[in-house]
Structure 1
Amino acid sequence: MLPAFSVLLALSLHVFPPTFAAPVVISGYAPVPATCPSTPLVRTASGISSSEAAYIAARKPVASAALGNWLKKVDSSFQTSNLPTVALTTSGGGLRSLLTGAGVIQALDSRDSNVGTSGLYQGLTYEAGLSGGGWLLSSLAGNNYPTVSSLQTNLWTAAFANSLAVPNGPGAPAALAQISLDITAKSAAGFQPTLVDAYGRLLSYQLLYGPDGGVSDDLSTVATLSSFTSYSVPFPIITALNVQTASGACTPPDNAVIFEFSPYEFGSFDTGVNAFTQTKYLGTSLSNGQPTKPTCEVNYDNLGFILGTSSDVFNEFCTAFPAIASSPGLLATLAGLVNQTHALTFMDEYALYPNPFYQYAHSSLVSAQKNLTLVDGGESHQNNPIFPFLQPSRAIDVMLVNDNSADTSANFPDGSELYQTYQQAQLAGLTRMPVIPPSSVFISKGYNIRPTFFGCNDNSKITIIFLPNHNYTFPSGQSTAKLQYSPSETDGMIKNGVQVATYGGNATFPECLGCAIVKKTGGALPTKCAKCFADFCYN
C-alpha cells in the first residue's frame, strides 16, 4: 500500500511540463474490437475457472517434483510423497517491497542463488502480489519469468536510478510523447483514460521490456509465454480494491471487495460480486453477462494499466480537480496527459473498468454500476494479498507471506496487516486462515523482525510462513515515497531481501522451513523438527 500524500509529495519534486512533442509511433495501448468468444464471458464464482484448474493440474506435479528435490537437498530424511500446495505472496510498499520481494524470490530460485532455500521457488504452485508486490510479479510474469539477477542488471538498475517522471532515461521526451499518444488513442477508442492510465504507462517503462514500455504486454498474453505454457512457474494473481464512489466514498472500507486479476480471469469471490469475467475481454460492454454490441474488446487488460490499478493511491486525495492538476511535478505531467482528452474530474483519481457485472444478478453490490472504480490493493489495511489463497477451491496448504509494509515510523511491518486479514477472514467465513495475534504480540515476541510459522498444529488451517522485512544487511526500511534508488541501493535492498528469506543466513532455517511444509502431509518428520516448531511456531 502506498501512503498517497507522502508519495505524491515526493513525486511532485520532479518537474516536467504537461505538454509534449508530436507522437513518434503508432500506439498499441488502445482497446480494439474483436470477435467475441464462444464461451460465456461471465460466470458465477462457484470455484476456480476451468482454465485455472487445468493449469494447476499440470503445474502441481511439476511443482511437487521440484519441492521434493528441494526437501531432499535440505534433509534426505524428509518424506516427499503427497506434498502440499505452496503459495507465495508479496505485499505492497512501492519499490521497497519490489526490491525486498525480489531478494526473497532470488533466495528461493535455484536458477539465481545457491543458499539453503534455493529451489523452493520452483516448488510454488501460486504467487500473488499487490501494489509494489504487484509491480514485482508483473515484471516477472510480463517478461516471461527471467531471474531477478537478469532484471536487476538489464532493466531495474538503470530504471530505478531515474525518476518515475523520466521514462527511458535520456529518451524521456520521446517516451513521454509516445505515452501522450497512448492516452489519446484510448480516449479515441471510446474509453475514458484517468491518472492511472498515465501512471501505469510510466511504471511500465521501469518494469517491462519492449517498445513503449512493453505496451503490447497484456495480462492475458502471459498465458501464451513459454514459461507459462510449460507449467514451469506459479500461477500469478494481482489484487485491487473496489470503492463505492456512487455512495460518496473516496477510499475502500476494511471489508472492501477484493478483486483478482489473473491471466485467465478478473473478478471476486467476495459476497456482492461473486463472479468472474475473462481477462482478455475486459473493456467489453456487458449486461447480465451478455455483450451489448456485435463485437467484444481486447487490449483493455494492458499489464501496465493493471499494475497501476493495484497501486493507485490518487483516490486518497479525495478532492475534485483542478486542485490536483495545479500541483507541480509528476502530478502535473499525469494531469496534462489526461487533460488532453477531457476535463479532469474526481473520477480521474480511480482506475476505471467497464463493469463486466453490470445487471448481473449474482453481483448485487456492483450490478447497478456502469464502471468499476478500483484502487490500491492494500488500502483496506490488508497489505498482503492473502484472500485469494483462502478460497477453498484453491486448496492452499502452505503460504509464504513476505510482508514489506510500512506499519511503523521506521517503515517496517508490525503484524497489523496480517491481523487485519485474520479478522476480515473470520467475518467472511474463510476458515482456512490460521489464528493471528494482534501487533502488540508481534512486537513483544519479536515476530515482526524474524520468520514465524502460524497454523503449524492445525491441519484444517493454512500454515503461514511469515517473512517480514528486516534490516539484516542494509537499511531496508525505506520510505514508500522513495521512488529513486541508486544502483548500490537497488543492489543492497535485493541482497537484504535474500537475508529476509533465509533468516539472515541462519544455517538451520531451511530445514525448519522444510519441517513446516512436510508437517502438512501428516507423515513422519525428522526428530530435529521438534526444535524447529518450538523456535518458530506460534502456539
Structure 2
Amino acid sequence: MMFASTGILSLLLSTVLAAPAALVDRDSPSYVPLDAECPSESLVRAASGLSTKEEAYRVSRKAVADEALKSWLVETNSEFRTDELPTVALSSSGGGYRAMLSGAGVIQGLDARDSNVSTSGLFQAITYHSALSGGAWLLTSFAGNNYPTISSLAYNLWGLAIQDSLLDPQALGALIDYLTIADEIALKQSAGFDTTLIDVYGRLLGYQLYEEADGGAGVTLSSITGFSNFTSHAVPYPIITALGAKVWLGQCSPGPNATTYEFSPFEFGSWDSDVSAFTPTKYLGTSMKGGNPVSSCTTNYDNIGYIAGTSSDIFAGELCTQLSDPNSELVTGMEQILVKVHEISTSDQYATYRNPFYEYQSSTQVPNPANDIGDQESLSLVDGGVALQNNPIFPLLQPARKVDVLIVNDNSADTSYNWPNGSEILTTYVQSFNHNLTRMPYIPPVDTFIAEGLNTRATFFGCNESSKITIVYLPNADFTFASNVSTTQLSYSEAEQAAMIANGVQIVTQGGKAGWGTCLGCAVMMKTGQTLPDDCTSCFAEYCYYQ
C-alpha cells in the first residue's frame, strides 16, 4: 500500500492548484483527453476469456520466454529436462518507495541484461508481471520507459527524483513546472471530465517515473503497445490493479471482498462477477451506455501516471472519514485545492473513471441489485492493496492466462517493524474462494508464518497440490540493508536507493545462497511431470511448505 500522509498531500496540492494558470503548448503531448473516432469493433466484451490481442501477445511472449527458460535452466543445472516448460509470472506488491526499490532489485537480480547472479535470465522467461501501488510505480516506470535496465532507471531518473521527493513540501520547485500541471488539470476539467486529487498526484508521480521532460504528460498505458520491447514480445505482459469503492452505498474504502479492476496495455475491466467485462484501455474516458459509446470516443485518458496514482490512492479512506467534519484542517485544505476548479464533493478523494459498463449486462455477469455497478455512471477507484491483498495475485489465477508458477515479491508492512507477516497473501487465499478462483494453493495462518519463519525466507507453496499454481514466496528481508523502511518515508538519498535495490537482488538470490538457483529451477519445473535433478529432493525438503 501507499502512505497515509494526507496533511503533506494537501499542502502540496494546495501549492500546485493555487498557482495561476500557465500556458500549455497544445502542439506537444498533452494530459488532456481527446475526442476520437470510435473503432468498428465493440467497446465492451464479456469476460469469457482473454481478448484476441492479449491472447496473441501471450502466445508470442510464451514462445520467447520458453527459449529463455531453457537457457536459464540448462545453465543453472544441466540435469534439468526442458521438453515441457511452464508459464512463469511475477507479482510486485505495494509498499510505497520501499516496494518500488526493493522490487526493482528483485527485477535486477532476474534480468540477464543487468546482473550476473544465480537468478539472472529468469526475467527473460516471465510471461506476465502484475503490480499494485508502490509496485505499480515500479512497473509503470519500467514499462513506460520501454523497459530499460533497473540500473539505467536508477542512475538516469530515480536518483535525483526520489532524493528530492516530489511529494515532500520541502522539495517544491526542484524539478517540476507546477504552473503547467495546474493548467493541464484545469483544461481536463474544462473539457468535461471530472478531476480529483488523483489527477494532481498522478502528474507529480510522472516526474519521478518517466524520463520525458514533461513527466510523461502524453504517455498512456495503451501507448506501450507501440514500444519496441513490447512489439518484439521481449517483455512480460504488464497488469496494474486497483479496487472499486462502492461510494453509492456510503462505502469510504473497499472491503476484503472488493471488486478488483485490471489495467493493461490492451484492456481495462474486471473478472469479478459483479462486472465480468472488459473495454479497450485506449478508449477509457468514453461515455458509454449499454456497451455502446454515447457519441464520439475518448482517447488519452489512460495517462500512465494517472493509472499509477489510481493504483496507489490510499488517501480515500482517510479523507472520507474526515470530510464529515466541515471545520477539519483537511476539509479546509481541500477547499483551497479544488474550489477554483469545481464544487467540492466526496468524489474528489478517488480516481474517477466514466463507467464503461454503465447499463451493460455481461453474459458472464452475476447481477446483484443491492450494489449493481452497472447502475453507476462513474467508477471510483483506489489503491489496489487497501483490502489486505497487497500482492496482486488474482489476475494471475485466471485460467485463461495459464500461469503455472508465480514469483510473489511481498514488501508489505504488516508488523510494527514494517516487515511482512503473511497476512496479505493469506487474505488472498481466503478471498479466492469468494471469487471462484480455484488455483490458489493453501496458505497457512499468520501464526504459522511467524513460528516457522516463512515471512523471512523463500517458501514454495502448492508443492503437493497438482491442480494449483506453484507460488515462490519472496518476502522483504534484511540481507545487506535494513529494508523495512517506513511507507511514509518520502525521500531516499541516492545511497539509500542503491542499498535498497542491492538488498532486493539479495532477496531474489536468497543472499547468494549456494544451490538456490537449482532450487528455484526445481520449483519452476516441479509440476511438469519430467524427471528432476537429484538435488530437487533436498530443495523441496528445505523450501516447500506442506500442509
- TM-score calculated relative to the size of structure 1: 0.95
Q: Over aligned residues, Cα RMSD in angstroms?
A: 2.0
Tell me which residue corresponds to 2:110: 108
Within the alignment, does 1:277 sit opposite 2:279 as a pair?
Answer: yes
Residues 12 and 474 of structure 1: is their aligned pair in 2 closer, same or farther, counting only changes over 3 Å? farther
Q: Which moved more, 1:160-169 or 1:32-41?
A: 160-169
CA contact (8 A) 2:168 2:490 kept: no
C-alpha distance in structure 2 between counterparts of 1:494 and 1:2, whole Å: 18
Residues 408 and 348 of structure 1: is their aligned pair in 2 closer, same or farther, counting only changes over 3 Å? same
Residue 516 of structure 2 is aligned with which of 509, 522, 528? 509
Letter of the 1:320 counterpart: L
C-alpha distance in structure 2 between counterparts of 1:411 and 1:357, whole Å: 38
Letter of the 2:514 counterpart: A
Tell me which residue corresponds to 2:434: 427
C-alpha distance in structure 2 between counterparts of 1:234 and 1:509, whole Å: 23
C-alpha distance in structure 1 between counterparts of 2:498 and 2:79, whole Å: 36
C-alpha distance in structure 1 between counterparts of 2:418 and 2:112, whole Å: 30
Give 3-state SS (helix, strand or coil) of 1:525's partner.
coil
1:339 to partner: Cα distance: 3.5
Q: Which sections of structure 1, spanning at least 5 residues, go unmatched?
A: none
CA contact (8 A) 2:86 2:405 kept: yes
1:114 to partner: Cα distance: 0.4
Matches within 5 A, 1:112-511: 112-165=114-167, 172=174, 175-293=177-295, 295-317=296-318, 318=320, 319-320=322-323, 326-327=329-330, 332=333, 336=336, 338-362=338-362, 364=367, 365-511=372-518
Give 3-state SS (helix, strand or coil) of 1:401's partner.
strand
> Quick one: percent identity of the two aligned structures?
52
CA contact (8 A) 2:7 2:330 kept: no
Letter of the 1:8 counterpart: T
C-alpha distance in structure 1 between counterparts of 2:206 and 2:3, whole Å: 21
CA contact (8 A) 2:96 2:487 kept: yes
Tell me which residue corresponds to 1:23: 22
1:37 to partner: Cα distance: 0.5
Letter of the 1:434 counterpart: P
Residues 74 and 125 of structure 1: is their aligned pair in 2 closer, same or farther, counting only changes over 3 Å? same
Residues 244 and 129 of structure 1: is their aligned pair in 2 closer, same or farther, counting only changes over 3 Å? same
Give 3-state SS (helix, strand or coil) of 2:238's partner.
strand
Residues 462 and 177 of structure 1: is their aligned pair in 2 closer, same or farther, counting only changes over 3 Å? same
Within the alignment, does 1:521 sit opposite 2:522 as a pair?
Answer: no
- TM-score calculated relative to the size of structure 2: 0.94
Q: Provide, for residues 443-484 of structure 1, a one-character-per-residue CA deviation record: whole Å limited to 9, x for no partner.
A: 000000000000112221000000000011111001111110
Residues 357 and 70 of structure 1: is their aligned pair in 2 closer, same or farther, counting only changes over 3 Å? same
Residues 209 and 506 of structure 1: is their aligned pair in 2 closer, same or farther, counting only changes over 3 Å? same
CA contact (8 A) 1:413 1:469 kept: yes
C-alpha distance in structure 2 between counterparts of 1:511 and 1:505, whole Å: 12
Residue 89 of structure 2 is aligned with which of 69, 87, 90? 87
Residues 335 and 100 of structure 1: is their aligned pair in 2 closer, same or farther, counting only changes over 3 Å? farther
Q: Provide, for residues 9-67 of structure 1, a one-character-per-residue CA deviation record: whole Å limited to 9, x for no partner.
A: 55568797352244143260111100001111000000111100000111101001001
Letter of the 2:340 counterpart: Q
Residue 537 of structure 2 is aligned with which of 530, 533, 538? 530
C-alpha distance in structure 2 between counterparts of 1:466 and 1:137, whole Å: 19
Letter of the 1:94 counterpart: G
Residues 167 and 43 of structure 1: is their aligned pair in 2 closer, same or farther, counting only changes over 3 Å? farther
Q: Which moved more, 1:99-108 or 1:155-164?
A: 155-164
Residues 324 and 223 of structure 1: is their aligned pair in 2 closer, same or farther, counting only changes over 3 Å? farther
1:133 to partner: Cα distance: 0.4
CA contact (8 A) 1:390 1:432 kept: yes
State how many pairs are aligned: 533
CA contact (8 A) 1:184 1:340 kept: no
Residues 114 and 182 of structure 1: is their aligned pair in 2 closer, same or farther, counting only changes over 3 Å? same
Residues 21 and 186 of structure 1: is their aligned pair in 2 closer, same or farther, counting only changes over 3 Å? same
C-alpha distance in structure 2 between counterparts of 1:477 and 1:33, whole Å: 46
C-alpha distance in structure 2 between counterparts of 1:520 and 1:138, whole Å: 32
Q: Provide, for residues 267-299 of structure 1, a one-character-per-residue CA deviation record: whole Å limited to 9, x for no partner.
A: 000010000000000000111100111x10001
CA contact (8 A) 2:526 2:532 kept: yes
C-alpha distance in structure 2 between counterparts of 1:168 and 1:77, whole Å: 57
CA contact (8 A) 1:8 1:481 kept: no
Tell me which residue corresponds to 2:61: 59
CA contact (8 A) 1:167 1:175 kept: no
Q: Provide, for residues 297-336 of structure 1, a one-character-per-residue CA deviation record: whole Å limited to 9, x for no partner.
A: 00111101101000001211213288699449xx95x875
Give 3-state SS (helix, strand or coil) of 1:449's partner.
coil
1:73 to partner: Cα distance: 0.9
1:151 to partner: Cα distance: 0.2
Residues 345 and 15 of structure 1: is their aligned pair in 2 closer, same or farther, counting only changes over 3 Å? closer
C-alpha distance in structure 2 between counterparts of 1:325 and 1:212, whole Å: 34
Give 3-state SS (helix, strand or coil) of 1:46's partner.
coil
Tell me which residue corresponds to 2:6: 8
Tell me which residue corresponds to 1:36: 38
CA contact (8 A) 2:181 2:200 kept: yes
Q: Provide, for residues 336-384 of structure 1, a one-character-per-residue CA deviation record: whole Å limited to 9, x for no partner.
A: 5544311222110001000000001125431100000000000110000
C-alpha distance in structure 2 between counterparts of 1:93 and 1:192, whole Å: 28
Letter of the 1:176 counterpart: Y
